[in-house]
């Protein structure tokens, strides 16, 4: 999990931090790295109108692909994607050989950035050597009744990866209002229902434009386990970068479809 600073409007600087995180995590034995939402331009930043590029292809995507191959890592990373006249808040998953395994466009986006980002229209899972994976992006995770994470659960995932940009107002006091309950509740509901892991990684730094101008992205990246428990929570703060490695013990499904609701369990 790579909780790093994402500087609005500075894709090259953000790539430098992504590259450094890849090197550190690979040296710690990581096989897969999860990065924040909109790691190229910063979430909600209008610089995406200039920098968003095509996937596959495009400078930022191509640099991620090179890093995946150089460090022999799977990468899941948020970025902005251009498709015709539309820009999507997307996440790519690239394997250690540079193959694009999965592309997800955010579905459940906050209303005041709809002028920047088009709406995603599909949801899918994909097989990997580590288990079946799914991806959602930030607010996808609290769609009513954990709808999107629950759908991924029914589609057979073993774990869900979620690039995020968790932000608070400039005057937020974490001592009096600790950040994270929304995610603990949302992730926990789907995790315990399906016995899966859910990882959300947020960037850090200040939002510089739009309705949330001067809000701070504050980290607090979280890994939730199959019993709905918080296995790990990264530090809070606008400059609280954090690199962590976690080993997940996947428990395979014993049922699917209607049997899942009837059995409601997994076997080793």
Per-residue model confidence as pLDDT tens digits over 23-82: 999 999 999 999 999 999 999 999 999 999 999 999 999 999 999 999 999 999 999 999
Q: Flag whether 265 is in a domain.
A: no
pLDDT band at 257 (very low <50, low <70, confident <90, very high): confident
User: 256 is written with which tokens?
Assistant: 């699917």
pLDDT at 253 over 80: no
Tens-digit pLDDT profile for residues 100-122: 999 999 999 999 999 999 999 99
Check residue 258 and give its pLDDT. 79
CB atoms within 10 A of CB 102: 18
For residue 188, what is the domain's CATH number?
Answer: 3.60.110.10
- Residue 254 in this model has a pLDDT that exceeds 50: yes
The structural domain count of the chain equals 1
Phi first, then psi, for residue 170 (nearest 5°) are -55, -30
* Inter-residue contact 166 to 217 (CB < 8 Å): yes
Q: What average pLDDT does this structure show over 123-144? A: 97
Please report whether residue 21 resides in a domain.
yes
pLDDT of residue 264: 53
In a domain, 202, yes or no: yes
Domain assignment present for 60: yes
- Give, to the nearest 10 degrees, the angle between helix 59-71 and helix 11-27: 10
Tokens, residue 82: 């251009």
Tokens of 62: 């191509």
Give the C-alpha separation, 199 to 163, whole Å.
8
The answer to whether residues 222 and 235 touch, using CB atoms and an 8 Å cutoff, is no
Backbone angles phi, psi at 97, to 5 degrees: -100, 5
- 259 pLDDT above the threshold of 80: no
Q: Is 255 a member of any domain?
A: no
**What is the pLDDT at residue 145?**
83
User: For residue range 184-195, what is the model confidence (pLDDT) as tens digits?
Assistant: 999 999 999 899
Residue 243 confidence class, pLDDT cut points 50, 70, 90: very high
Please check whether residue 55 lies inside any domain of the structure.
yes
In a domain, 264, yes or no: no
User: No. of H helices and E strands in the chain?
Assistant: 6, 15
Global pTM reads 0.96
Count of CB atoms within 10 A of residue 212's CB? 20
Range of the domain at 55: 2-247
Could you report the per-residue pLDDT of 192-230, keeping only the tens digit for each? 989 999 999 999 999 999 999 999 999 999 999 999 999
């Amino acid at each position: 999990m790579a909780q790093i600073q994402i500087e609005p409007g500075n894709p090259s600087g953000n790539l430098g931090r992504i590259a450094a995180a890849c090197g550190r995590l690979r040296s710690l034995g990581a096989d897969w790295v999860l990065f924040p939402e909109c790691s190229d331009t910063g979430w909600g930043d209008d610089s995406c109108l200039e920098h968003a590029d095509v996937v596959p292809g495009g400078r930022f995507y191509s640099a991620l692909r090179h890093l995946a191959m150089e460090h022999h890592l799977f990468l899941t990373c948020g970025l902005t994607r251009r498709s015709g006249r539309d820009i999507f808040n997307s996440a790519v998953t690239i394997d250690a050989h540079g193959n694009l395994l999965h592309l997800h466009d955010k579905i459940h986006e906050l209303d005041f950035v709809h002028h920047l980002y088009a709406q995603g229209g599909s949801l899918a899972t994909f097989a990997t050597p580590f288990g079946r994976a799914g991806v959602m992006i930030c607010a996808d995770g609290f769609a009513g009744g954990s709808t999107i994470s629950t759908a991924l659960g029914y589609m057979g995932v073993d774990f869900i990866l979620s690039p995020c940009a968790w932000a608070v107002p400039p005057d937020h006091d974490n001592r009096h209002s600790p950040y994270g309950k929304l995610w603990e509740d949302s992730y926990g509901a789907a995790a315990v229902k399906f016995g899966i892991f859910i990882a959300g990684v947020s960037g850090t730094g200040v939002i510089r434009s739009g309705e949330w101008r001067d809000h701070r992205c504050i980290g607090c990246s979280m890994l939730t386990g199959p019993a709905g428990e918080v296995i790990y929570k990264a530090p809070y703060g606008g400059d609280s970068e954090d690199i962590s490695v976690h080993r997940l013990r996947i428990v395979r499904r014993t049922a699917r479809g209607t049997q899942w609701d009837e059995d409601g369990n997994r076997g080793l």
